[in-house]
């Protein structure tokens, strides 16, 4: 077969171009370290690489989300640590102020620190994160949550929302807690019921916060006092207990009677109350899951007055008797608790009766504050659990990302030893092809004529 000069030249050029193309492709692989420079190099590997890269990018985003959640939760935990420190100082001041060695002037000094601590608590409630969002506003991140109002209280402008962020395909976590949950939804009293004295009390009776004693039966109960049935004021006073309907539940002999009927029987010396003992559990309430006791001397006034020098009257009229109430606990904000404490410090304290009201107020404030501290500890425990979850998920995501990147590397990355060997062979082949082309181009019959 005859081969023309043109055909010979074209064959040589095509061979050189093929060698140059292969060499260029190998040089590109060596330069970027990737085996796949185009989908046509390995269609299945390219498709698999795209899936893996999408998974890796998704994991990277989950890692960013997890880090953001960790920073946000750490900020909240640090803020609540400050709240706890302020509450602990307030408790110390409550114990100090409740001591009878203090006087009106020293308690006013204590009030100044209490007011500063209240401002600090409000400031902590308005903490802002690195994005300029209030961490206790719920979904209303740009709205300042807490502000004092003209009535001496505090308003909340956030909501109850909780923001969640995804840390994996199946795991989401709350990045914080609403101010409502942290500072507002706190039960007063002992968390189940609260105790208080009547505002009209004239004696020195003081009621304790009480504790649950078995199953608690919610209701509004009262303990009221009576003069000694003997008529001798040196004898112990007596008391009776009412339910929310004003029906006697103690003494047992008069259970079911109305208060009016019971008082009429008392005034006519037809029945008697329960003997009052300081520090003893109030009878009747213990059957309802309530254990309380009282100290001091509640006031009772009658007409004619019962007095030791006079013979006890056969019939008398009950003019005034001190009383105490036991009601189910309600929500009370931490700020209101501190404000009540501040107000109690400047309340009247000039008489034994005033001091009894003061000590009752202080006991309530102390119990309410303990509930607030308990709420803060509860929230911090939740945050700690979330932070543990975030740390575990960060480790899981990191391990998963490493696995995906390893698999991706096995598909995409270049074997440098093989590639460099191939590059040298291709370079040698190109040089040989170029040398052959030069020699072929120089061939001519005229050289032999």
pLDDT digits (tens, 9 = 90+) for 351-386: 999 999 999 999 999 999 999 999 999 999 999 999
Residue pLDDT, tens place only, 59-92 = 889 999 999 999 999 999 999 999 999 999 999 9
Render pLDDT for 126-180 as a digit per residue (tens, 0 to 9): 999 988 999 999 999 899 999 998 888 899 999 998 999 999 888 899 999 999 9
Phi/psi of residue 238, nearest 5 degrees: -125, 165
Using the structure block, give the residue that is written with the tokens 């004239």: 202
- Where b means 16+ CB within 10 Å and e means fewer, 284-297 reads bbeebbbebebebb
Q: Rounded to the nearest 5°, which phi and psi values hold at 324?
A: -135, 150
Tokens linked to 89 = 């100082």
Rounded to the nearest 10 degrees, how much is the dihedral formed by the CA atoms of 366, 368, 370, 372? -140
Tokens of 305: 């007055």
Please state, for a pLDDT cut of 90, what percent of the chain lies above it: 65
pLDDT at residue 448 is higher than 60 = no
Q: CA 30, CA 21: separation in Å to the nearest integer?
A: 14
d(CA 328, CA 35): 74
At 3-62, the pLDDT tens digits run 566 665 676 667 666 666 666 666 666 666 565 555 555 565 555 666 767 777 888 899
**CA dist., res. 371 & res. 368, Å (int):** 5
200/445: higher pLDDT: 200
d(CA 162, CA 140): 10
Task: Tell me what pLDDT residue 52 has.
Answer: 67
Tell me, what's the pLDDT at 447? Answer: 54
Query: Which residue reads 């209303």 in tokens?
Result: 140
Q: For 172, left (φ over 0), alpha (ψ -120 to 50), or beta?
A: beta
Supply the DSSP string of 256-283, one letter for each residue: T-BHHHHHHHHHTTS---EEP-TTSBPT
Q: Which two tokens stand for residue 2?
A: 């005859």
3-state DSSP percent of the chain in helix, strand and coil, to 5: 50, 15, 35
Distance between terminal CA atoms of the chain?
A: 23
Q: Could you give the 3-state DSSP secondary structure of residue 208?
A: coil
Burial of 357: CB neighbours in 10 Å, binned 0-12, 13-18, 19+: buried
- CA pair distance 200, 164, nearest whole angstrom: 51
CA distance 101 to 153: 30
**pLDDT above 60: residue 299:** yes
Distance of CA 146 to the CA centre of its chain: 16
Residue 306: helix, strand or coil by DSSP?
Answer: coil
What is the C-alpha radius of gyration for the chain, rounded to an integer number of angstroms? 43
Do the beta carbons of residue 316 and residue 306 sit within 8 Å?
Answer: yes
Q: Do 341 and 327 touch, CB atoms closer than 8 A? A: no
For residue 95, is pLDDT > 90? yes
- Which residues, at least 6 apart from 381, have a Cβ–Cβ distance to it below 8 Å? none
* Distance separating alpha carbons of residues 279 and 200, to the nearest angstrom: 22
Which pLDDT band holds residue 429 (cuts at 50, 70, 90)? low
pLDDT, one tens digit per residue, over 181-196 is: 999 999 999 999 999 9
Out of 143-157, 238-252, 421-435, give the one with best mean pLDDT.
Answer: 238-252
């Amino acid at each position: 077969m005859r081969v023309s000069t043109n055909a010979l030249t074209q064959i040589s050029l095509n061979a050189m171009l093929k060698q140059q193309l292969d060499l260029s492709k190998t040089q590109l692989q060596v330069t970027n370290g990737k085996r796949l420079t185009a989908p046509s190099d390995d269609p299945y590997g390219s498709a698999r690489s795209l899936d893996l890269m999408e998974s890796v990018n998704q994991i990277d985003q989950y890692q960013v989300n997890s880090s953001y959640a960790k920073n946000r939760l750490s900020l909240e935990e640090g803020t609540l640590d400050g709240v706890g420190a302020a509450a602990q100082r307030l408790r110390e001041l409550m114990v100090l102020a409740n001591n009878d060695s203090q006087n009106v002037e020293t308690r006013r000094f204590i009030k100044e620190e209490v007011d500063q601590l209240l401002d600090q608590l409000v400031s902590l409630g308005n903490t802002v994160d690195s994005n300029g969002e209030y961490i206790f506003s719920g979904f209303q991140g740009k709205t300042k949550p807490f502000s004092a109002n003209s009535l001496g209280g505090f308003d909340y402008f956030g909501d109850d929302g909780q923001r969640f962020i995804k840390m994996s395909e199946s795991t989401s976590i709350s990045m914080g807690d609403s101010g409502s949950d942290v500072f507002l939804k706190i039960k007063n009293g002992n968390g189940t019921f609260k105790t208080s004295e009547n505002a009209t009390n004239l004696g020195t009776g003081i009621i304790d916060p009480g504790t649950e004693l078995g199953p608690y039966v919610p209701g509004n109960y009262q303990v009221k006092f009576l003069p000694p049935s003997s008529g001798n004021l040196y004898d112990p006073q007596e008391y009776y207990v009412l339910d929310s309907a004003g029906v006697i539940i103690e003494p047992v002999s008069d259970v079911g009677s109305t208060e009016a009927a019971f008082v009429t029987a008392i005034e006519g010396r037809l029945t008697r109350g329960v003997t009052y003992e300081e520090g003893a559990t109030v009878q009747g309430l213990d059957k309802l899951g309530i254990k309380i006791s009282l100290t001091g001397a509640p006031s009772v006034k009658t007409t004619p007055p019962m007095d030791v020098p006079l013979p006890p009257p056969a019939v008398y009229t009950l003019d005034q008797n001190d009383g105490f109430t036991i009601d189910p606990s309600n929500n009370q904000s931490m700020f209101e608790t501190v404000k009540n404490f501040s107000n109690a410090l400047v309340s009247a304290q000039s008489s034994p009766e005033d001091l009894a009201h003061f000590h009752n107020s202080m006991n309530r404030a102390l119990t309410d504050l303990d509930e607030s501290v308990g709420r803060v500890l509860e929230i911090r425990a939740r945050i700690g659990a979330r932070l543990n979850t975030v740390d575990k998920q960060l480790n899981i995501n990191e391990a998963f990302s490493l696995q995906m990147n390893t698999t991706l590397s096995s598909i995409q990355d270049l074997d440098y030893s093989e590639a460099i060997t191939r590059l040298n062979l291709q370079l040698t082949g190109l040089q040989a092809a170029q040398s052959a082309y030069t020699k072929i181009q120089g061939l001519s019959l005229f050289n032999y004529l």
